Chain A
Amino acid sequence: NAGVTQTPKFQVLKTGQSMTLQCAQDMNHEYMSWYRQDPGMGLRLIHYSVGAGITDQGEVPNGYNVSRSTTEDFPLRLLSAAPSQTSVYFCASSGDRAGEKLFFGSGTQLSVL
């Protein structure tokens, strides 16, 4: 039972490069989300989705894009990486209607030079 799987675990980018962080869940959860975690800032919501084909912005969406073509997958795209996007990124999913009971992946440590 894999739960929420994130790849890669570590990534180093140069400023201006683009990349996609992958997230997949095998629990048939409708709700999925992306958070970033920075020291002293806690977890901040980037984007979320309440089902396939439906996405919306969270607290800090600038510089990121998402899509949800299937229930299982919710990739996060960095369009043009900036040093301010250096962070740990977590994908999460939830099976309850309001989505508070989140299951998190193990995270992606991203450094932008």
Chain B
Amino acid sequence: QKEVEQDPGPLSVPEGAIVSLNCTYSNSAFQYFMWYRQYSRKGPELLMYTYSSGNKEDGRFTAQVDKSSKYISLFIRDSQPSDSATYLCAMSGIQGAQKLVFGQGTRLTINP
């Protein structure tokens, strides 16, 4: 069983829809949670960063962490065609990036 599970999709939704992307994990030591966005043929870019449980909002994006369920989510409101990309969750414990584990990524397409 992988430490981090992420549905690879692909996921296709109409413009303006609310998108929900999710990851589950098995390591209870994880305490730093991130979402990266990767456009085709580009490197990933950090989208959201949260520590421990709770919600974090940044514009149309909301990240949620539920450590009791070992479940994290990324919500995209009013989705735009420019949001079409692969979204990767990532998480680590106190060791930081030395033990940063990525999900396999969900490919998202927003249709105009």
Interface residues of A (CB under 8 A from B): 4, 31, 33, 40-45, 48, 56, 58, 90, 92, 94, 97-107
Contact B92 A98 (CB under 8 A): yes
Q: Is the CB of B44 within 8 A of A31?
A: no
Given the complex, which residues of A lie within 8 Å of B60, measured CB to CB?
A: none
Question: B residues within 8 A CB of A100?
Answer: 32, 34, 49, 90, 92, 96-97, 100
Instruction: Give the interface size class of chain B.
Output: 20 to 34
Give Cα distance in the complex from A97 to B49, angstroms. 15
For A45, the closest partner residue in chain B by CB is: B100
The 7 A-B residue pairs with the shortest CB-CB distance in the complex, in nearest-first order:
A98-B96, A99-B97, A104-B43, A42-B104, A42-B102, A43-B102, A99-B96
21 A-B residue pairs with CB within 8 Å: A42-B4, A42-B6, A42-B102, A42-B104, A43-B44, A45-B97, A45-B98, A45-B100, A56-B98, A92-B43, A98-B94, A98-B95, A99-B96, A100-B49, A100-B92, A101-B34, A102-B44, A104-B43, A104-B44, A104-B45, A105-B43
> Do residues B43 and A106 form an inter-chain contact, with CB atoms below 8 A?
yes
- Give the distance in Å from the alpha carbon of A15 to the alpha carbon of B110 in the complex: 40
> Who on chain B is nearest to A105 by CB?
B43
The A-contacting residues of B in range 1-56, CB under 8 angstroms, are 4, 6, 8, 32, 34, 36, 41-46, 49
